């Protein structure tokens, strides 16, 4: 029967998973707070127009929509970064802020495989910051967060949308046409990308550079190769920026945790600079994703340079399980049962142990045999005249 099932793309989180999720959240909270980030929580329900009538409008089919009592169209939060950009532009008077969040976003189209429609996220936003050092700090912190969550053998894949933007602007493409080419390249559809470029009158030099994008992957050696492919100022500036970021990361000791990918295909209108993804072998999709989005807050009336990243916590759970890095299931410090008439004594003992910082379970059934089924480091049986540890 349908009332016993869930819609496609959503799931319940049972106690074992939930405990791991809370453990990961606690670790991240400590990491966020230690680096000076402040918590923020955006509203879960917003107006449809907030996301549909901006320059970086989201496709309406991606949004869960419903109607308010006054007839206005509402949506469940479809994007965390846009939501926080709205807060920054309209409610934060200071020019700079470092924020962190734990929240859900909803995507009506994401379902199947590693995708879900209810996406549990953690993330950070560095608002009012520019430059290679800010970008490098963000990348380094993303790596730290992956390790803090217990992930092993993880790597950060780093690119810069300016390189692809520079190649495509040589062809005189409109923003919509450039995004169509970007989507084709991201889908590994080189044939359609080249067809679109030829139709726009792209030169052979540009076509050769676009064909080479999938090969611009690896260490710092990709910078020299990329620089030989084009004379476009924007593309070369992107390479130069990544070189500065790489130098800083190397000085900070993170060089082995990053690789560079100038063919990475993230939205050219949403992102304005570096883009990156946190990858582990065990999951076929990023567990972490972010980049620089200097122009997002412009849609809400204020220019605020920004960089940040979001962590998909459900994917992290999958990765931890497949890597064998799930934290051990906690054991009760003490279990207590009692005979009938000794409930008050048993409750007092439980409170005494809890006051010492122990995790305690007090059985609702009477008798010693209840304790045999309980996994606890110490077990107590309480009678009307006293208690005994067994």
Looking at the structure, do residues 310 and 352 belong to the same domain, yes or no?
no
List the one residue out of 323, 160, 155, 175 whose CA is nearest residue 227: 160
Residue 263: per-residue pLDDT: 84
Looking at the structure, do residues 256 and 345 belong to the same domain, yes or no?
no
* Domain that includes residue 374, residue range: 332-389
Dump pLDDT digits (tens) for 177-229: 788 888 887 777 777 888 888 887 788 888 888 888 888 999 999 999 999 99
Residue 1: per-residue pLDDT: 56
Looking at the structure, do residues 313 and 339 belong to the same domain, yes or no?
no
Residue 114: per-residue pLDDT: 53
HSE (side-chain half, CA atoms, 13 Å) at 138: 33
Contact (CB, 8 A) for 22 and 30: no
Looking at the structure, do residues 256 and 347 belong to the same domain, yes or no?
no
Strands (E), the chain: 38-39, 45-47, 65-67, 73-76, 97-106, 118-127, 154-160, 217-218, 258-261, 274-280, 288-292, 306-312, 332-338, 360-366, 376-382, 387-389
Looking at the structure, do residues 370 and 243 belong to the same domain, yes or no?
no
Residue 79: per-residue pLDDT: 95
Give the mean pLDDT of the chain. 92
Contact (CB, 8 A) for 332 and 360: yes
Dump pLDDT digits (tens) for 338-389: 999 999 999 999 999 999 999 999 999 999 999 998 999 999 999 999 999 9
Looking at the structure, do residues 202 and 272 belong to the same domain, yes or no?
yes
> Domain count of the chain?
2
CATH number at residue 92: 3.30.930.10
**Tokens (6 digits) for 116:** 């879900």
Looking at the structure, do residues 366 and 258 belong to the same domain, yes or no?
no
Residue 110: per-residue pLDDT: 63
pTM attached to this predicted model? 0.90
Residue 112: per-residue pLDDT: 54
Looking at the structure, do residues 178 and 111 belong to the same domain, yes or no?
yes
What is the β-pairing status of strands 258-261 and 332-338?
unpaired
Looking at the structure, do residues 133 and 204 belong to the same domain, yes or no?
yes
Residue 205: per-residue pLDDT: 83
Residue 212: per-residue pLDDT: 85
- Given a cut of 70, the residues of the chain with pLDDT beneath it are 1, 110-115
Residue 328: per-residue pLDDT: 83
Looking at the structure, do residues 243 and 340 belong to the same domain, yes or no?
no
Looking at the structure, do residues 337 and 314 belong to the same domain, yes or no?
no
* Separation of alpha carbons 48 and 53, rounded Å: 8
């Amino acid at each position: 029967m349908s009332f016993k099932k869930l819609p496609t793309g959503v799931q319940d989180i049972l106690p074992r998973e939930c405990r791991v999720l809370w453990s990961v959240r606690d670790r991240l909270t400590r990491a966020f707070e230690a680096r000076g980030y402040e918590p923020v929580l955006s509203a879960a329900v917003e107006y449809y127009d907030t996301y549909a009538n901006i320059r970086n409008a989201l496709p309406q089919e991606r949004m869960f929509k419903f109607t308010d009592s006054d007839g206005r169209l509402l949506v469940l939060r479809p994007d965390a970064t846009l939501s926080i950009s709205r807060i920054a532009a309209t409610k934060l008077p200071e020019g700079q802020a470092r924020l962190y969040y734990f929240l859900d976003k909803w995507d009506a189209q994401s379902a199947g495989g590693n995708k879900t429609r209810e996406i549990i996220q953690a993330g950070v936003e560095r608002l009012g910051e520019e430059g290679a050092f800010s970008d490098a700090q963000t990348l380094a912190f993303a790596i730290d967060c992956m390790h803090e969550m217990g992930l092993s053998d993880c790597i950060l894949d780093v690119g810069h949308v300016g390189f692809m933007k520079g190649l495509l602007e040589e062809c005189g493409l409109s923003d919509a046409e450039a995004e169509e080419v970007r989507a084709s390249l991201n889908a590994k559809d080189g044939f359609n990308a080249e067809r679109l470029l030829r139709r726009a009158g792209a030169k052979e030099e540009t076509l050769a550079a676009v064909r080479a994008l999938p090969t611009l992957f690896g260490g710092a050696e990709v910078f020299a190769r990329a620089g030989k492919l084009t004379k476009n100022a924007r593309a070369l500036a992107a390479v130069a920026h990544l070189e500065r970021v790489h130098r800083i990361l190397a000085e900070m000791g993170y060089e082995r945790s990053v690789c560079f990918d100038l063919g990475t295909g993230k939205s050219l209108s949403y992102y304005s600079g570096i883009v990156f993804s946190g990858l582990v072998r065990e999951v076929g999709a990023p567990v972490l994703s972010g980049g620089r989005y200097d122009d997002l807050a412009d849609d809400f009336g204020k220019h605020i340079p920004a960089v940040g990243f979001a962590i998909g916590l459900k994917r992290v759970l999958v990765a931890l399980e497949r890597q064998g890095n799930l934290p051990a299931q906690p054991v009760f410090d003490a279990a207590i049962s009692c005979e009938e008439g000794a409930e008050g004594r048993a409750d007092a003992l439980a409170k005494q142990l809890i006051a010492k910082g122990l995790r305690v379970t007090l059985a609702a059934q009477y008798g010693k045999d209840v304790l045999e089924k309980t996994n606890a480091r110490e077990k107590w049986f309480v009678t009307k005249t006293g208690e005994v540890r067994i």
